[in-house]
C-alpha cells in the first residue's frame, strides 16, 4: 500500500486495510508483522513505523478482510495513522518530515470535474516480477467525476477518472486539490466503464475528520500531535486486545 506524511513530526496516513496487519504484533495467533516505510524513486527501505490509530468501527465491520483472497470494501472509515519510530540504518530521525497540507472542508457539488492530482506507488511491477522489482512513484492529473455519501448527507467519497495511478498498490495515496492540499485518500478501484481505465475512489478528509472526532473526541489535527510513542503505546494497551478479539472471531 501507499501512504503520505500528514504531519511534520512523522505521522503517516494510509488505509486501515493496509495498517491492520500491525495488530499482529500483539498476538502469537496470526504470526508477526512489522512496517517498513520505503521512500524515493525507486523506493528503498528507509524507516520503521508503528501503529498510532486505526478505527475500531472499521475493524468490526471488516474483520474478514485480512484473510480474504480478494478483499472488498466501501472505503468507509478505511484510514489509519502510523508514526515513524526509527530509521532503518539506525541514524537519528530528521527534525521534520516533508508533510502535505490537508483540507477537511466539506466538498460541494461544484467539485465535480475539478482538476486533482493523485499519487501513489502502483505495485504492478512487484506483482509481476517479485519483490526485487523497482517500485516507482506515480502521480497523475485527473478530474473528479462524482461525489457519494455514506448517509451523512454530504460527500464522504468521490470518484476520479482513470490514470496511471489507478492500479493495485496505490491505496492509501493522497488526492490533492489545485491548492496542493490533500482532500482525499485513495481507498478502492473505481468504475472503469464510466470513468476510464485506472479510475479510483477516495474518501474525503472531511469524512476522516468527522469519524475520528466521533471515535476519539478529538479532531484530526489533535490526533496528529503529542507524544506519539506514548500515544501509540496507550492505543495498543487499551484498544488492541479488543480489536484482536474481533479479528480472531472472524478468522
Residues 16, 62 contacting (CB under 8 angstroms): yes
Nearest C-alpha neighbor of 173 from the set 9, 11, 8, 13? 13
pLDDT at 68 over 60: no
CA distances from 7 to 12, 102, 139, 232, 240 (A): 7, 10, 20, 15, 24
Question: 182-194: per-residue pLDDT in tens?
Answer: 999 999 999 999 9
Q: At what angle do helices 240-250 and 228-238 cross, to 10 degrees?
A: 50
**Considering the entire predicted model, what is its pTM?**
0.92
Confidence of residue 240 (pLDDT cuts 50, 70, 90): confident
Q: Cβ atoms within 10 A of the Cβ of 90, count?
A: 6
Residues 35, 48 contacting (CB under 8 angstroms): yes
| DSSP-derived secondary structure for 31-94 | ----EEEEETTTTEEEEEEEEEEE-HHHHHH-GGGGG-SS-----TT--EEEEEEEETT-PPPP
pLDDT recorded at residue 250: 64
102: helix, strand or coil:
strand
What CA–CA distance (Å, rounded) separates 1 from 15? 8
Average of per-residue pLDDT values in the chain: 90
Residues 98, 5 contacting (CB under 8 angstroms): yes
Which residues neighbour 65 within 8 Å (Cβ) at sequence distance 6 or greater? 17, 20, 71, 72, 73
Question: 107-125: per-residue pLDDT in tens?
Answer: 999 999 999 999 999 887 7
pLDDT at 26 over 70: no
How remote is the C-alpha of 189 from its chain's centroid?
Answer: 14
β-strand 80-87 against 44-54: which pairing, if any? antiparallel
Amino acid at each position: 500500500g501507499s501512504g503520505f506524511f500528514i504531519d511534520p513530526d512523522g505521522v503517516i496516513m494510509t488505509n486501515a486495510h493496509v495498517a491492520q496487519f500491525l495488530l499482529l504484533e500483539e498476538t502469537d495467533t496470526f504470526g508477526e508483522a512489522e512496517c517498513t516505510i520505503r521512500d524515493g524513486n525507486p523506493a528503498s527501505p528507509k524507516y520503521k513505523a508503528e501503529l498510532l490509530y486505526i478505527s475500531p468501527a472499521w475493524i468490526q465491520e471488516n474483520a474478514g478482510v485480512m484473510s480474504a483472497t480478494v478483499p472488498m470494501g466501501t472505503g468507509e472509515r478505511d484510514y489509519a495513522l502510523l508514526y515513524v519510530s526509527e530509521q532503518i540504518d539506525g541514524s537519528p530521525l530528521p527534525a521534520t518530515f516533508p508533510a502535505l497540507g490537508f483540507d477537511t472542508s466539506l466538498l460541494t457539488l461544484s467539485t465535480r470535474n475539478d482538476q486533482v492530482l493523485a499519487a501513489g506507488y502502483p505495485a504492478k511491477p512487484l506483482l509481476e516480477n517479485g519483490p526485487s522489482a523497482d517500485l516507482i512513484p506515480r502521480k497523475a492529473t485527473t478530474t473528479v467525476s462524482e461525489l457519494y455519501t455514506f448517509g451523512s448527507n454530504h460527500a464522504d467519497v468521490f470518484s476520479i477518472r482513470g490514470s496511471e495511478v489507478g492500479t493495485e498498490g496505490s491505496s492509501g495515496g493522497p488526492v490533492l486539490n489545485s491548492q496542493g492540499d490533500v482532500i482525499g485518500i485513495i481507498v478502492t478501484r473505481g468504475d472503469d466503464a464510466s470513468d476510464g481505465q485506472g479510475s479510483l475512489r477516495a474518501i474525503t478528509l472531511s469524512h476522516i475528520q468527522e469519524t475520528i472526532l466521533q471515535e476519539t473526541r478529538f479532531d484530526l489535527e489533535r490526533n496528529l500531535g503529542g507524544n506519539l510513542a506514548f500515544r501509540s503505546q496507550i492505543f495498543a494497551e487499551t484498544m488492541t486486545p479488543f480489536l484482536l478479539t474481533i479479528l480472531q472471531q472472524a478468522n
